[in-house]
Structure 1
Amino acid sequence: MKKTGIYLLYGGALFFAIVLIIIFGSDKKTDLKNASVNTQSISAKKNPAEDVKPAEKIQLYLFHSTNRCYSCITAGEYAKKTLEQNFSQELKSGKIEFKEINVDLAENKEVANKFKAAGTSLFTNSIIDGTDNIKEDTQIWRLVSNEQAFSKYLSEKLKKLMGSEASAQETENVEKEDIVFYFGSDCPECENVEKYLQEKDIRNKISFEEKNINKNEEDANQMAEDAMYCNLDEESFGVPFLWADGKCYAGEKDITDLFNEKINGIS
């Protein structure tokens, strides 16, 4: 009887051990299978940059009204010069097409509607597999006071669209969000905006430049050019002032409202 009990005990322990081996062995196989699938998934992923095809053709269109401002005229001159100097072959072959288009003329209504252009604006259309990829460029207007910077920026952008190699820094400069916050000394509203930026931790959420117009005359001139692009006269703007994506925001409320909109879009 005792032997029978011992045999049953040993038999039960052996059975339990076998069950455990089967269970853990199955889990291990499952883990290895999942690991294999995950490895295949990771190796199958491509660098997003590899999925972007070079443009077959690039249209660079500068839209303007009949009465052209200094910035519009200058941008046209700089763009034409840059293309002739750096992309003469592409212009000749038709790979790059540059036009200055008056939106006030009836014959240009169709193309203006296609690009959704009104007044002064610069657009690129990189045509890939016969499909239009139209984008407005607002950064260009902040460079009309510096021909060298204008030419460098435009050249890097066109090279990228054509698939030419560009450094990581060049790519970052082209794609960086175009936001500049202008402020001044002894400015109560500027201080309020600064307090807001700190309380909401805006600097760690949104990338933007900050310029004190009382310490740098070039920054003050740049703010005036930005305001001129937005058709604001000298009496209509002052600090705090924000240039963001081709639009102007003057005063504490407009500036903080825009930042709130942007951070809400991130979260």
Structure 2
Amino acid sequence: MKKITIMLLATLLSTTTISACTGNNTPESKKETVAKQKAAVEIIYFHGKQRCKTCIAIEKETKALVEGELAKQVKAGKVKFHVVDFSTEEGKKIAAKYKVTFSSLFVVTPKGAEDLTRFAFANARSNAEGFRKELKDKVVKAIK
């Protein structure tokens, strides 16, 4: 009985030590969690080597919004805009994460990614003002 008690105690202590060493209960991991919760909203536009007029319009209108109406939020670190060419090696890795195989637009928050590709293709060229307004509304809402 003593051997079993000693073995259980040894197992318990080694498990606690391993947990402490991996940092699962350290203040740093809590800080990382808080940082992730306060992470910036990312707007990611994916494209390939060849792009149509609509693909180009999606990037152009998104960039105009980010550099214009969302410039204050970008400067404050609340919004980030990335253009990813998935025909490059680095771009392929990022595209794989979002399961992207063609031009796409995503708004990414700590809670997840929203695929706005259909919306973008339907509006970027034919309704640029409406496209920017809707995208801005989604980003501002995600910041809050």
TM bin (shorter chain): 0.5 to 0.7
Asked if residue 139 in structure 1 is aligned to residue 122 in structure 2, the reply is no
- What secondary structure is seen at the aligned counterpart in 1 of 2:68? helix
Counterpart among 119, 134, 138 of residue 157 in structure 1: 138
RMSD, matched Cα = 1.6
Instruction: Find the counterpart in structure 2 of residue 80 from structure 1.
Output: 63
- What secondary structure is seen at the aligned counterpart in 1 of 2:109? strand
2:138 and 2:102 map into 1 onto residues whose CA distance is 23
Instruction: Give the deviation of 1:90 after TM superposition.
Output: 1.7
2:135 and 2:114 map into 1 onto residues whose CA distance is 14
1:112-123, aligned counterparts within 5 Å? 112-123=95-106
Q: Is the 8 A contact 1:126 1:134 kept in 2?
A: yes
Instruction: Give the deviation of 1:55 after TM superposition.
Output: 5.9
Instruction: Give the deviation of 1:79 after TM superposition.
Output: 0.5
TM-score, normalised to structure 1, is: 0.38
Instruction: Find the counterpart in structure 1 of residue 44 from structure 2.
Output: 61
1:34-113, aligned counterparts within 5 Å? 56-113=39-96
Structure 1 stretches of 4+ with a deviation exceeding 3 A read none
Structure 1 unaligned regions, length at least 5: 1-53, 164-267
TM-score, normalised to structure 2, is: 0.68
Aligned length: 106
Which of structures 1 and 2 has the larger relative contact order (alpha carbons within 8 angstroms, sep 6+)?
A: 2
2:122 and 2:103 map into 1 onto residues whose CA distance is 13
- What secondary structure is seen at the aligned counterpart in 2 of 1:86? coil
- What secondary structure is seen at the aligned counterpart in 2 of 1:119? coil
Cα 1:55–1:135 shift into 2, 3 Å: farther
Instruction: Give the deviation of 1:63 after TM superposition.
Output: 0.5
Greater Rg over alpha carbons, structure: 1
Structure 2 unaligned regions, length at least 5: 1-36
| Letter of the structure 2 residue corresponding to residue 92 of structure 1 | K
